[in-house]
């Protein structure tokens, strides 16, 4: 069975030598699981029109050596408080990483954080412009409003993070259930601060994958360290095949 749900991993920790090995271990152990990894050097790519530092070069190239990884560059839209040209300049910086040699540090998409969730004349014009310019560079578009967003956003994005919450056993699955059924395949779900058992995490994963959600992430901590149940989480996703 082909697994349609991928892992959306916000990897916001600095790659000192060996610090990303826990991710590489999972990628290697579970080749049937796709890992969409968000790379975030400096709340974005760092200085415009530059490449990341040597530690990032090495770590990103290591991920790109695998067939089951897709790397997304992090860009903060700050709920439209940033100028569109500044957002697109960061997109261009990530896009330019593909020209770096000898390391292969190309990025396949952009993860836009802190996105608006309402669709109106102003937001539609700004977000559509950002998405169109990103797609024009052959990069995928992932939007993170973190809440249930207007369905119109699915017309401009490849993926929308519809649920991003601290884990609450009494509310987790109910929050996923609010995602419109016809948008499950293009939706993402994240739960941080997971406090349950291995069995409970496995059950949560099975419910989310079974619902046809496009990508997910569950962590016992935040986004700058390894979850205490990381390998068990990946195993649970793989077990849904």
pLDDT tens per residue across span 34-93: 999 999 999 999 999 999 999 999 999 999 999 999 999 999 999 999 999 999 999 999
pLDDT one-digit tens code per residue, 141-174: 999 999 999 999 999 999 999 999 999 999 999 9
| pTM flag (> 0.85) | yes
Domain membership of residue 228 (yes or no) is: yes
What's the CATH code of the domain at 216?
3.20.20.80
| Number of domains within the chain | 1
Instruction: Taking residues 11-28, report their average pLDDT.
Output: 98
Q: How far is CA 71 from the centre of its chain?
A: 9
In a domain, 64, yes or no: yes
Centre a 10 Å sphere on the Cβ of residue 1 and count the other Cβ atoms it contains.
6
Is the CA virtual torsion 128, 106, 15, 21 positive or negative?
A: positive
pLDDT for the residue 2: 61
What secondary structure letter does DSSP report for 51? Answer: P
The whole-number average pLDDT for the span 89-109 is 98
1 inside domain: no
What is the structure's pLDDT at 214? Answer: 98
Give the mean pLDDT of the chain: 97
Phi, psi of 162 (to 5 degrees): -90, -20
Paired residues of 218 in beta bridges: 191
The residue segments making up the domain with residue 75 are: 6-239
Hey, which residues does 69 pair with through a beta bridge?
35
A 10 A CB-CB count for 138 gives: 10
Residue 51 placed within a domain: yes
Q: 169-189 pLDDT, tens per residue?
A: 999 999 999 999 999 999 999
Tokens 């948008």 sit on residue: 183
pLDDT at 94 over 90: yes
How does pLDDT run across 194-233, given as a tens digit for each residue? 999 999 999 999 999 999 999 999 999 999 999 999 999 9
Tokens representing residue 2 in the block: 């082909």
**Adjacent-strand bridge partners of 11:** 39
Between 4 and 113, the more confident residue is 113
Residue 195 lies inside a defined structural domain of this protein: yes
- pLDDT reported for residue 3: 81
């Amino acid at each position: 069975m082909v697994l349609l749900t991928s892992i959306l991993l916000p990897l916001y920790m600095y790659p000192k030598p060996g610090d990303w090995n826990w991710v590489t271990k999972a990628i290697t152990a579970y080749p049937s699981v796709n890992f969409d990894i968000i790379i975030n050097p400096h709340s974005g790519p760092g200085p415009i029109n530059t490449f990341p530092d040597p530690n990032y070069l090495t770590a990103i190239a290591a991920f790109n050596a695998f067939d089951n990884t897709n790397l997304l560059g992090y860009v903060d839209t700050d709920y439209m408080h940033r100028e569109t040209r500044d957002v697109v300049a960061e997109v261009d910086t990530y896009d330019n990483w593909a020209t770096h040699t000898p390391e292969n540090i190309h990025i396949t998409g952009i993860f836009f954080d802190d996105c608006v969730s309402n669709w109106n004349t102003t937001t539609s014009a700004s977000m559509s412009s950002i998405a169109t310019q990103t797609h024009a560079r052959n990069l995928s578009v992932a939007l993170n409003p973190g809440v249930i967003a207007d369905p119109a956003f699915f017309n401009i994005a490849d993926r929308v993070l519809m649920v991003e919450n601290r884990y609450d056993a009494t509310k987790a699955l109910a929050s996923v259930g609010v995602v419109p059924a016809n948008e499950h395949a293009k939706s993402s779900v994240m739960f941080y601060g997971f406090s349950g058992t291995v069995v409970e995490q496995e059950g949560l994963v099975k419910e989310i994958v079974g619902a046809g959600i496009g990508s997910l992430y569950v962590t016992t901590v935040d986004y700058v360290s390894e979850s205490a149940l990381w390998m068990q989480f990946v195993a649970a996703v793989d077990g849904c095949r």
